[in-house]
Chains A and B, each alone.
Chain A
Amino acid sequence: MESFDLELPARAPGAAPGTAALYGVVSSGNLEVLVEAGPSPDRCRFHVETSAHGFTDVWQAVLADFAASHRVGGLSFSIHDAGATPAVVSLRLAQAVQSLEAP
């Protein structure tokens, strides 16, 4: 397993998760993402644990793109990944944010 943390500036504040919200499942080519309140309204945080080694730069590009295009200020994302492709990562993150806005 490989893990890393990333903190990015956030464009706009996101919907506050009442309790921790989980989206997705840890299975081959898939991931789960836990969304919780983060410490600062103008930043978002990511913690990633992945079974695919050596793709940190790809992760950072995908997460930066996600943070720039969604309202994620004040949110903290914890990811357990089992080899999801970048497209699946983007999709699950977007679904997680959407599930907060319209539970």
Chain B
Amino acid sequence: MTRAPSYREATARHRVAGLLDAGTFVEWVGPGARATSPHLAALGSPVSFDDGVVVGEGRLAGERVLVIAQEGLFNGGAVGEVHGAKIRGAFERACTQPPRAVVFCIDSGGVRLHEANAGLLAISEIMRALFAAQSAGIPVWALVGGSCGAFGGMGIVARLCDAVVMSEEGRLGLSGPEVIETVKGVEEFDARDRALVWRVTGGKIRRTLGEATHLVEDNLVAFREAVVALLAAGQGPVPFTLETLQASQARLEARTAWDAALRDGQSLWDRLGLADAALMETEQFNRRLQEVS
């Protein structure tokens, strides 16, 4: 039996090609433009023709969408000045020539440390441009299933999106596992414990907590189908109103009341009656989660 190609193993370019209707993608500031990082060059580090991000527009189930896809294999998908400017530019284009949605394939450890302040500024510019697109009525949907997940500033950006589609293999967080271990010690968090990393940051726990809105299988077809379903549902941006903020606040307050015994996904799943959640197939997990919530 042939299986659909893995989203996690695909490059950013292959993800874009696999998500969109065949032959519809038009890239902006493509590799031929040679918009490479001056900071990496100054440091004698290898540069990339697209600075690690693919941006452009195409059709998805016939609807015009903007696509942003970070390449996790190039410097961990980290955001530098040019990389960030391309993403910001895509969101600004979304405001002037509104697409049906922006599909954001996040695969990033956060700020590119080589570019320090320029990278930090780029992240805030991305956030501002993303808010502007949402205010203009354009929903932004994050897809998180790459090897780098969505961490640091890009973890925040993922949570600003109107939907977060993850695979079990995807990860979402603020400080990455190594950062937590470095700052708080190995007793607090052992970054080499892969199962622990996924019980805390992986797609299943993020879906359980409601931070991911959809959990899909790790393949390009499943991610595409999730976006097609969002399009078909006529999904717009989540309204930025007092009511939605209060609901969000109430959800977080309820979480602070949890006792210290709830330390990771497994302890939460035990309590929910989903003790074997980690072993479930995606479809079964989604069904069981719906039953208990």
**A45 proximal to B (CB < 8 A):** no
| Cβ–Cβ < 8 Å partners of A19 in chain B | 30, 32
B184 CB → nearest A CB, Å? 28
**CB atoms of A34 and B73 under 8 A apart:** no
Closest to B12 in A: A25
Number of A residues near B (Cβ < 8 Å) is 17
Contact residues of B between 25 and 53, Cβ < 8 Å to A: 30-32, 41, 44-50
**CB atoms of B73 and A30 under 8 A apart:** yes
**CB atoms of A22 and B74 under 8 A apart:** no
Do A34 and B47 form a contact, CB below 8 Å, given A22-B13, A26-B74, A27-B74?
no
A33 CB → nearest B CB, Å? 9
Closest to A51 in B: B46
**CB atoms of A81 and B31 under 8 A apart:** no
**CB atoms of A20 and B32 under 8 A apart:** yes
**CB atoms of B44 and A1 under 8 A apart:** yes
Number of B residues near A (Cβ < 8 Å) is 16
Closest to B41 in A: A1
**B213 proximal to A (CB < 8 A):** no
| Cβ–Cβ < 8 Å partners of B266 in chain A | none
| Cβ–Cβ < 8 Å partners of A90 in chain B | none
**B115 proximal to A (CB < 8 A):** no
B39 CB → nearest A CB, Å? 14
Interface 0/1 of B2-33, CB less than 8 Å to A: 00000000010100000000000000001110
Q: When chains A and B are docked, how far (Å) is the Cα of A27 from the Cα of B45?
A: 11
Closest to B54 in A: A22
**A27, A30, A49: which has the most chain B beta carbons within 10 Å?**
A27
Interface 0/1 of A31-75, CB less than 8 Å to B: 010101000000000000101000000000000000000000000
Leading 4 A-B pairs by shortest Cβ distance: A20-B32, A27-B73, A22-B31, A25-B73
List 29 contacting pairs A-B, 8 Å CB cutoff, sorted by A. A1-B41, A1-B44, A19-B32, A20-B30, A20-B31, A20-B32, A20-B49, A22-B13, A22-B30, A22-B49, A22-B50, A25-B71, A25-B73, A26-B46, A26-B48, A27-B73, A27-B74, A30-B73, A32-B31, A32-B49, A36-B32, A49-B47, A51-B45, A78-B49, A80-B47, A80-B48, A80-B49, A81-B46, A82-B46
